[in-house]
Structure 1
């Protein structure tokens, strides 16, 4: 199956966004994909903010994007857009870093007022970076994500079903892309 980079753009160490991504990572891994998590918050701030393209952590993150066939991008919504932390990483990547990639955009937020952040803020930047196929994303309300004392994430039934569907669509798109490349390669 495919190699998937799962990118969390949340600045929080206890982020529901990152936990949601790891939840979906498990589903993708169960479908046979190799999933590599990347929490942008673990990259050195001085490298991100100073646009240090030669910093080893930035070089490694860029290489992970290059090697991945599929990318899941998750972000909390701030001010009706994706996080500044995610933006700082995207700004350091080459202009067409997502060329040939299948991308699944995800967002979390506290209000349905931000449900369009994926389509009006995140999708355009992913497209401008050359993403070959951006599958329909999903916005999940914070209230639909519960974290237990042991750190386990529970997703409310309706959103859980919708997330499973978009994750499976992403997985199928990756598999279809691989089959197409094998047939034409």
Structure 2
């Protein structure tokens, strides 16, 4: 099944530092996904730039635009560094602004950056349940990378993509490239 229009990819970054390495990793993963799925350039939402607006009423137009972009994504990369063996409070504060089905129809890909392999399951144990509770579909395993992987994220993404491609293509309604169809037919 081919989509009538290209999938909208958004990268949501929960690192409290503006322009962080987590932002770079999210942009890289979202760009790679856009290339693989032949979609438009991804939109980046860096929560560090919106942090002051998260607890202000009435909400700012910038925060409303970010909330709408994330909820309107076909494919959402949710990136966070590990903070106290979980995802950041900044990301939690942003996600708390949605109701129970606020991310219904969104396919999410958790991306977790940590300093140690001991935190490899943070995305699966802590972030995935929150995304599912908000109505998102999470068809793949979390892409967990170490700080050292950020020097060259390509190999980690390539290893992850081998298992993630089929479920992601199904979830966003993207047809497989012609070469992949030949392999399936054999």
TM class, shorter-length:
0.7 to 0.9
> Where does structure 2 lack aligned partners over 5 or more consecutive residues?
1-5, 176-186
Q: What aligned pairs does 1:11-50 form with structure 2 within 5 A after superposition? A: 11-30=16-35, 31-34=37-40, 35-45=42-52, 47-50=53-56
Check conservation: 2:13, 2:23, Cα contact below 8 A: yes
RMSD after superposition = 2.2
Q: Which structure's residues are more often strand, by fraction?
A: 1
SS in 2 for 1:145: helix
Q: What are the superposed Cα offsets for residues 91-145 of structure 1, whole Å, 9 maximum, x if unpaired?
A: 1123311111111111000011111111111011011101134422111011122
Matched, 1:155 2:160: no
Matched, 1:66 2:71: yes
Q: Distance in 1 between matches of 2:55 and 2:135?
A: 23
> Where does structure 1 lack aligned partners over 5 or more consecutive residues?
147-153, 179-185
Check conservation: 2:18, 2:49, Cα contact below 8 A: no
Q: What are the superposed Cα offsets for residues 139-181 of structure 1, whole Å, 9 maximum, x if unpaired?
A: 10111222xxxxxxx2273x24224436635641344379xxx
The equivalent of 2:184 in structure 1 is none
Q: Give the TM-score normalised by structure 2.
A: 0.80
The equivalent of 2:91 in structure 1 is 86
> Which is worse superposed, 105-114 or 35-44?
35-44
Q: What aligned pairs does 1:104-183 form with structure 2 within 5 A after superposition? A: 104-146=109-151, 154-155=152-153, 157=155, 159-165=156-162, 168-169=165-166, 171-176=168-173
Deviation at 1:83, TM superposition (A): 0.8
Check conservation: 1:4, 1:70, Cα contact below 8 A: yes
> Which is worse superposed, 23-32 or 85-94?
23-32
CA distance 1:17–1:44, change in 2 (3 Å) = closer
Q: Give the TM-score normalised by structure 1.
A: 0.80
